[in-house]
Structure 1
Amino acid sequence: MECQIPADIGNLTNLEQLGIEYANLTGVIPRGIGNLYKLELLYLGQNKLRDPIPHELFNISTLRELSIPTNDFRGILPPTLGVTLPNLEILYLGANRFTGIILPTLSNASRLKSLDLSENNFFGEIPHSLGNCRYLRKLLLDENPLNSNLPVSIGNLSNSLDSINMFHCGIGGEVPRSLGNLSSMEILNLASNGLTGIIPSSISSLRQLQWISFEDNKIEGPIPSEFWSISSLRYLYLNSNNLTSSVPTSLWSLNDLLELDLSINFLNGSLSSQIGDMKTLIKLNLSVNQFSGDIPSTIGALQDLQELSLEHNNLQGSIPDSIKTMLALQYLDLSFNSLAGVIPNSLEVLLDLQYLNVSYNKLQGPVPRGGPFMNFTILSFLANETLCGAPWFQPCQTSQHRSNKKVLLLVLLPIGSAVLILGISLLLTKRASYHDLRRVTNGFSRSNLLGSGTFGSVYKGVSTNGIIWAIKVFDMQLEGLLKTFDTECEVLCRLRHRNLIKVISACSNPDFKALVLEFMPNGSLEKWLHLDHHVLSIMQRLDIMIDVARGLEYLHYGYSFPIIHCDLKPSNILLDEDMVAHVSDFAIAKLLGGGESHVQTKTLATIGYIAPEHGLEGLVSTRCDVYSFDITMIEAFTGKRPKDEMFTEELSIRPNENMACVSSILQLALSCTSDVPENRIIIKDALTTLEKIKTQFLQRNKG
C-alpha cells in the first residue's frame, strides 16, 4: 500500500530521529520538515519519493545522518550543502538521479565519515577539497559518468579511509602512486573504467587491504611482485586488462586469498607448483591468457576450490589425477588448450561437479561414466582426438573393432557428425576469445548493437580484414543461462543448412558467453513487415516462407532425430544480402530422441505465435513449429501481427498483385492452425503446397 509523509510532520518540533524506509512512500518530502530543528537522523531510503526536495531540509544544521537512497530524486544539489549541514557524518544519496558536479563545499562538513553518491549522474573531477574530511571512511561514487582522471590528490584523503568504490565511472589516466598513502584501505574497487599504465608498486603499502579490483581496464605491464606483502588480501581481481609477463612467484604465497581472477590478459610462462600453497582459494580464474606447460599436480591441494577456469591457454601434458582430491569443485573448464592423454576416471569422485568443459584439446580414450559424468553432454567434450565410450562417441576399440574399422566408421558416421563438423570448422575459423570479440565490437559499444532480446544482446563485429559477424552475447544474470547457452550451442553445432543461421565460433568463460554467427545484412523479416520504408513483393514473401519451410523441414526430418525450434516468429527469421531467409535463435529449442513424438517444457515461447498445447500444457512437438509457421505466414502476407484483427482492414500488399496467390496462402494457413495438433499438416506438406502456389503464381504472371 502506498502512503505519503504527512504534511503536518513539521509540528513534531522535538523529533530527533525519523526513519521510514522500505515503506512504499510516494509524493514529496513536505516543506514543514524544515521545522524539525532538533532532527539528527533522517532515513527515508528505498521508497518512491520524488522531487522537489525542500531547501528547508538542507538547513537543518543539527543533522548528522541524512540517508535518502533509492528514490526518484533528481536535479542538482544545493551548492551550500556542506556549509548548511556542518555536523553531517553520513550522507547517502545513492540510486537516485542527481546530476551536476561533486560539490567541493562538501568538505565543509568536516566530520563526514561516509559519503555515498553512487548510481547517479554526477560528472567531473573528484574535488581536491575532500581531503579536508579527515574522518572520511567510505567513499562510494560508483556508476556515475565522472569521465575524468583519478587525481593525484586522492592520496591526500583521510588516513581513516577504508573503502573506495569507483567502478564504472569512466575514469581514465594512470593509477596514481599516491594511492599507497591510504594506509587504512580495506576495499578498493576501480573496475570497469579506462585506467591505463601500470599498477604502481606503492599499492603494497596498503597492508590492511582485503578486496581489490582493477577488472576491465586498460592496465598493462607485469603484476607487481609486491602484492605478496599484503597478507590481509582475500579478493584480487585483475582480469580483462592488458597485463603481460609471467605471474610473480611471490603471488602464490598469498595463503589467505579466497578469490583470484587474472583472466583475459596476456600473461605467459608456466604455472608454478606453488599454486598448491593457496589452500584457502574458492575461485581461481586464469583463463584467456598465454600460459604454457603442464598443469601442476600440486593443484590438487586446493581442496576448498569451487571454480577452476584454465580455458583458452597453451597448456600441455595430461589432466592431473590429483584433481580428484578437490572434492568441493563445482566448475572446471580446461577447454581450448593442448592437453593430451586420457580423462582420469578418478574424477568420478567429484560429486559436486556441475560444469565440466574439456573441449578443444587432444584428449583420447574412454570418457568416465560415473559420478557427475552421468550428467554431462557432448558439449563438455567437443573437438578432441579420439575420445570414446560415451553415447555420442564411437565405442572404445577392441582388437575385433580395429579389424572392422572401416565398417564401424560407416555405421557411426551419423552419430559423430556433429563432432566431425565442428572439427572441420575449427580448421576454417579462429577460436573466439573475449579479447577478440571485444576488439571487433569496439568494446561492445552501443553503436554496434544490432538488437536485444530475452537471452541477451547481438552486436555487429567487424574484423581487421573487413569480415562482418553477428556476436550474440548472453545475459549472465539470466536464470538458467548455462542451459540456454548449451542448448543453442548444441543445436547450432549440429546443423548445416542453407536456411538455418550458421555458427562460426563460440566463447564460453565463467563470466562471459557468446556465439559468433554469420551476419545477415538485411535484418529480420519483422523489420521488413512493419517499417514503412520497407516493401516486399508477393514473390519475395513467397520465397521467404519457402526458405523458412525448408529450414523447418530439415530440423524436423533432416537429422537423426527431430529438433523443434519452439519460438518461430518474424524477428527470428533473418535475411541475407540476397534476401534468402535463415531461421535463427535456438535458445529454447528441444531435441526429440528415442522415438519421442513430444516433450514437456516449462519454457514458453512468444505469445501470439505459441501453439495452444504448448501454452496450456507445456507440450511441444514438431506440430508446434507448424502452428508458429502458419501465424508467421499470415503475418508475412497481411502485414498484421497476431493480436491484430486480421481481416477487418485492407491487406498491406499492393493491390495490383494477383490476389489468388494470397487466397491460396490463407487456405493453406487454415490447415496449420487447428487447436488439435494431429489435425495440422506436417511441414513437408506445407512446403510442397507453397512451392505449388509459387509455380501457379509465376504461370499467371507469364500469361
Structure 2
Amino acid sequence: MKNYALCGPPRLLVPPCKNDIHKNSQTIILHAFRYGLPTIGIVLVLIVLTIMYRRCQRRSTALPIKDDLLSLKTPRRISHAELSRATNGFEESNMLGSGSFGYVYKGRLSDGMEVAIKVFNLQTEGAFRSFDIECDAMLNIVHRNIVKVITCCSSVDFKALVLDYMSNGNLEKWLHSKNCFLDIIQRVDIMIDVAVAIEHLHNGHPTPIIHCDIKPSNILLDEDMVAHVGDFGVAKLLGEGEVMKQTMTLATIGYMAPEFGSAGLVSIKSDVYSYGIVLIETFTKRKPTDNVFVEEETIRHWMESSLPKGAIEIADVDLLRREDEYFVVKANCISSIMELALNCSAELPEERKEMKDVVVELKKIKQRLLNNIQHF
C-alpha cells in the first residue's frame, strides 16, 4: 500500500513500468547515499519490523485454538435433533440414571464422541432454575476433578446439558453393587479427588461455589477411575462479602448439614459436612439412610461411638479382614480417615475443617499407607 515505486504487469494490480524507471532509480539511490542514507536506513528498519509484526499477528490468529479453550469461549452449538439422534430418540436403553430434575442418557454425537446428556424435565418445579444454575456454574469451571460441560442445548420447551461421559459410572454403584469392589488405595484416591474438587469450588474462584449436594451418586468415575464431582443443580454462588446463603431448596436427606436441613442456611462448611458423611460411607459401606439409624441415631453418632472399638468394627467387611496381610496398616489408615471424617462432619460449622486442610491430611494418610506397605 502506498508504495508508488512498485510496477509490473496489470494482473498484479500495480502501475505499468516506465522505460526510464531504472535511470530514475539510480538517481534516487545516489542522492540517498549522499544526503540521507542514515535516515533512510532507520526508516527501512522500522518498515521491515512493522511488516514482520503484522505478519506474526496474522499468523498467530490463524493458528488453531486448543479444544479446551475453544469450548470455553465459544461452546459448540448442538440441536435437539442431533441429541435425539445421538440417543436413538432418547431410548430407555440409553438411560444412565435419573435425578430430581430429569434424566441422563448416554449418547454418541455425529463426530463419534461419547457424551452424557442430561435432559431436564421442565414440568418439575425448579427445573428451569436448575438448568440456569448449572450453565452458569459449570461452564466457568475447568478442573480435572469436576465434570466438564461440553455445551448446552436450550429452547422454549427443551433444555439439556451435554457432559463428558464417565465410563465407570458413579461411586454409589461401586460401593453398593454386588459385582463392584474398590480396594483401600482406590477409595483413598477417589476421596482425595473429591476433596480437591470441592476445595477448588470453594477457593479457586473469586466467587466461591457451594455444591450443596455432595453424595456418592454425584461422584462420577472416568475410565481411569479418576473421580469427578458433577450435578450442580442446587449449587449456590456466594456474592462479594457473603459467607452463607438462605435457601428454600432441600438437598439429599442424610448428607445435608444440620443448619441446612433445619434453617436452610448453606455455606462452604455445608459441603465439608456432606463430604465427611461420604467419607464415612466410602469406608464402611453404610448409607446415612440405612434402617439401623433411627430416631436420634445418625451415621455420625454411630461412627463416634464405634471408632474407639477399632477399625474392624466399622470398616466394610470386604475391605478389612483379620487375615489380611496388611491388616494393622489398613486398620490404622481407616481409623485416621474416620477421625478426619468426624472432624469434617462436626455439628457446628465453625468446628469443621477447611477443605484445603482435608486435602493435605488425606494425602499424608495415603503416603503413610504406601510407605508401610512397601516396608512390609
Contact 1:566 1:625 in 2 (8 A): yes
Matched, 1:667 2:333: no
Secondary structure of 1:491's counterpart equals helix
Aligned match of 1:697 in 366, 369, 373?
369
Contact 2:245 2:267 in 1 (8 A): yes
Which residue number corresponds to residue 440 of structure 1?
86
Matched, 1:620 2:266: yes
**C-alpha separation in 2, matches of 1:696 and 1:538:** 13
Secondary structure of 1:604's counterpart equals coil
**How far did 1:513 drift?**
0.2
Matched, 1:651 2:316: yes
Aligned match of 1:537 in 163, 183, 187?
183
**How far did 1:484 drift?**
1.0
Contact 1:422 1:493 in 2 (8 A): no
Matched, 1:684 2:356: yes
Contact 1:635 1:642 in 2 (8 A): yes
Which residue number corresponds to residue 146 of structure 2?
500
**C-alpha separation in 2, matches of 1:423 and 1:659:** 45
**How far did 1:423 drift?**
7.4
Structure 1 unpaired stretches of 5+? 1-420
**C-alpha separation in 2, matches of 1:444 and 1:583:** 24
Map residues 488-527 of structure 1 onto 2, 5 A cutoff: 488-527=134-173
**How far did 1:643 drift?**
2.7
Residues 606-644 of structure 1 show CA distances to partners (whole Å, capped at 9, x for unaligned) of: 000000000001000000000000000100011110133
Matched, 1:583 2:229: yes
- Letter matched to residue 660 of structure 1: N
Residues 308-339 of structure 1 show CA distances to partners (whole Å, capped at 9, x for unaligned) of: xxxxxxxxxxxxxxxxxxxxxxxxxxxxxxxx
**C-alpha separation in 2, matches of 1:662 and 1:465:** 45
**How far did 1:533 drift?**
0.9
Distance of aligned partners of 1:525 and 1:670 in 2 relative to their CA distance in 1, 3 Å threshold: same
**C-alpha separation in 1, matches of 2:278 and 2:202:** 18
- Letter matched to residue 484 of structure 1: S
- Letter matched to residue 529 of structure 1: L
Map residues 166-185 of structure 1 onto 2, 5 A cutoff: none
Map residues 90-105 of structure 1 onto 2, 5 A cutoff: none
**How far did 1:428 drift?**
7.6
Contact 2:103 2:121 in 1 (8 A): yes
**C-alpha separation in 1, matches of 2:315 and 2:94:** 37
**How far did 1:650 drift?**
5.8
Contact 1:562 1:592 in 2 (8 A): yes
**How far did 1:689 drift?**
0.6
Contact 2:133 2:235 in 1 (8 A): yes
TM-score by length of 1: 0.39
Distance of aligned partners of 1:649 and 1:556 in 2 relative to their CA distance in 1, 3 Å threshold: closer
Map residues 34-113 of structure 1 onto 2, 5 A cutoff: none
Secondary structure of 1:495's counterpart equals coil
**How far did 1:466 drift?**
2.7
Contact 2:104 2:116 in 1 (8 A): yes
**How far did 1:670 drift?**
1.6
Q: Which has the higher strand share?
A: 1
Aligned match of 1:596 in 221, 224, 242?
242
**C-alpha separation in 1, matches of 2:69 and 2:197:** 23
TM-score by length of 2: 0.73
**How far did 1:480 drift?**
2.3
Residues 504-553 of structure 1 show CA distances to partners (whole Å, capped at 9, x for unaligned) of: 01100010000000000000000000001101000000000000000001
- Letter matched to residue 466 of structure 1: G
Contact 2:146 2:230 in 1 (8 A): yes
Which residue number corresponds to residue 452 of structure 1?
98
Distance of aligned partners of 1:591 and 1:566 in 2 relative to their CA distance in 1, 3 Å threshold: same
**How far did 1:564 drift?**
0.2
Q: Which has the higher helix share?
A: 2
Which residue number corresponds to residue 154 of structure 1?
none
Map residues 141-220 of structure 1 onto 2, 5 A cutoff: none
Residues 282-313 of structure 1 show CA distances to partners (whole Å, capped at 9, x for unaligned) of: xxxxxxxxxxxxxxxxxxxxxxxxxxxxxxxx
Map residues 387-406 of structure 1 onto 2, 5 A cutoff: none
Map residues 244-255 of structure 1 onto 2, 5 A cutoff: none
Which residue number corresponds to residue 378 of structure 1?
none
**How far did 1:698 drift?**
0.3
Secondary structure of 1:551's counterpart equals helix
Secondary structure of 2:153's counterpart equals strand
**How far did 1:675 drift?**
1.0
Contact 2:146 2:228 in 1 (8 A): yes
Distance of aligned partners of 1:478 and 1:423 in 2 relative to their CA distance in 1, 3 Å threshold: farther
- Letter matched to residue 320 of structure 2: R
Contact 1:569 1:628 in 2 (8 A): yes
Aligned match of 1:547 in 193, 202, 209?
193
**C-alpha separation in 1, matches of 2:315 and 2:343:** 23
Consecutive aligned runs of 4 or more in structure 1 exceeding 2 Å deviation: 421-424, 426-430, 463-466, 643-652
Matched, 1:430 2:60: no
Structure 2 unpaired stretches of 5+? 1-66, 293-301, 307-312
Secondary structure of 1:425's counterpart equals helix
**How far did 1:649 drift?**
6.4
**C-alpha separation in 1, matches of 2:178 and 2:320:** 13
- Letter matched to residue 693 of structure 1: I
- Structure with greater contact order relative to length (CA < 8 Å, sep ≥ 6): 2
Distance of aligned partners of 1:637 and 1:672 in 2 relative to their CA distance in 1, 3 Å threshold: same
**How far did 1:479 drift?**
1.3
- Letter matched to residue 356 of structure 2: K
Secondary structure of 1:523's counterpart equals coil
Secondary structure of 1:671's counterpart equals helix
**C-alpha separation in 1, matches of 2:371 and 2:284:** 23
**C-alpha separation in 2, matches of 1:427 and 1:493:** 9
